[in-house]
Structure 1
């Protein structure tokens, strides 16, 4: 898809991770993707105005939950199952990694504001919340997400630094014959690993990667850092069917 075909708002959505959508599809999603940030911003504003940390903590949980559940943000579910039918709009797709990362960051900021209220620092809490509301207002009006923009710059600076594969896609690959590759150290692997996983420690990957030729690999580690490094290393050596799953806890969900 050529970037020249897109409006600023559509380019911002691509930056949020909606890379595989046509301009027409992005146009159809335009208003629906504003629903969740509008509702969450309203709840945050109410929590700040009334100085009620329990409301901010509730919004925080929503954001953090959304990071781990791409298709299960409660507000997205309300939109898909109720609101969109009122306007005959298309359903929202699962949230891509960049958008989920922004949800997580918003959750952390809401939790921070709540903690500041609880510890007797309401002025600082309102500053933190105010910054969050300003950032969300930009997202709502333009779809421009500051965190997605920073992420995009980081990707370009580090070269091919991608977020983990979506779980739905990983499940499809696994059903088609993909194999789990555990890049933790042998002692970590011995303490527990996914069924059928093969151990190719990152520290030894350079000399052992020839054994992975012709395979579709779902790569995981303990937290996601080594799996990303291994995926990048393999791609630099010409491997194309290698996918970063992330940490072991996430890999278990596949």
Structure 2
């Protein structure tokens, strides 16, 4: 869990969200983790059951998170939960957050295919790796795919639109 607004903003900016005040970062820090949490639980169930059907059913949602400027599961927060506390809406997804969804899509499809093909070890390794990466994000706000992009392309440059 992020302990200060500075850490929350740093983690959120690393995912490509730029120009947010510390107060906004603090208020959206946990709501930004809702979609990864839903995906994590869904993927954990699919992996634990070695169920290609459960994993394939999640693939379109992850893919839409990669394509759109928001995740389909963000609708629960943006059009429902946030109104209970008067919290701000989640910002549009930038390239780094969408990259995380694209990577999740690939991992979900790989795990689903592996289970379908009878490659239980491969399906388990890929599925639990995805669950583990999502758990890191959900529990700390740190996004492993965004870190990978940072490693290769550097820090988010908010002057360049958050790329």
| TM-score of the aligned structures, taking structure 2 as reference length | 0.86
Equivalent-residue separation in structure 2 for 1:155 and 1:128 (angstroms): 25
The 5-angstrom pairing of residues 12-161 of structure 1 reads: 12-71=11-70, 73-156=71-154
Equivalent-residue separation in structure 1 for 2:141 and 2:13 (angstroms): 10
1:53-89, CA deviations, whole angstroms, 9 ceiling, x for partnerless residues?
1221122211111111113x21011221122233433
SS state at 1:59 partner: helix
1:14-63, CA deviations, whole angstroms, 9 ceiling, x for partnerless residues?
10011211111101111111111111111101111222212211222111
Structure with the greater relative contact order (CA < 8 A, sep ≥ 6): 1 or 2? 2
Q: How much does 1:90 deviate?
A: 2.0
When the two chains are superposed, the root-mean-square deviation of aligned CA atoms in Å is 2.4
1:192-213, CA deviations, whole angstroms, 9 ceiling, x for partnerless residues?
xxxxxxxxxxxxxxxxxxxxxx
Structure showing the higher strand proportion among its residues: 1
Q: 1:138 to 1:65 in 2, by over 3 A?
A: same
SS state at 1:7 partner: helix
1:134-188, CA deviations, whole angstroms, 9 ceiling, x for partnerless residues?
111110111111211121232239xx8x99x69xxxxxxxxxxxxxxxxxxxxxx
Equivalent-residue separation in structure 2 for 1:137 and 1:91 (angstroms): 23
Equivalent-residue separation in structure 2 for 1:91 and 1:19 (angstroms): 14
Q: How much does 1:133 deviate?
A: 0.8
Equivalent-residue separation in structure 2 for 1:8 and 1:95 (angstroms): 19
Equivalent-residue separation in structure 2 for 1:145 and 1:63 (angstroms): 15
Unaligned runs of 5+ in 2: none
Q: 1:156 to 1:30 in 2, by over 3 A?
A: closer
Equivalent-residue separation in structure 2 for 1:126 and 1:83 (angstroms): 33
SS state at 2:154 partner: helix
Equivalent position of 2:10 in the other structure: 11
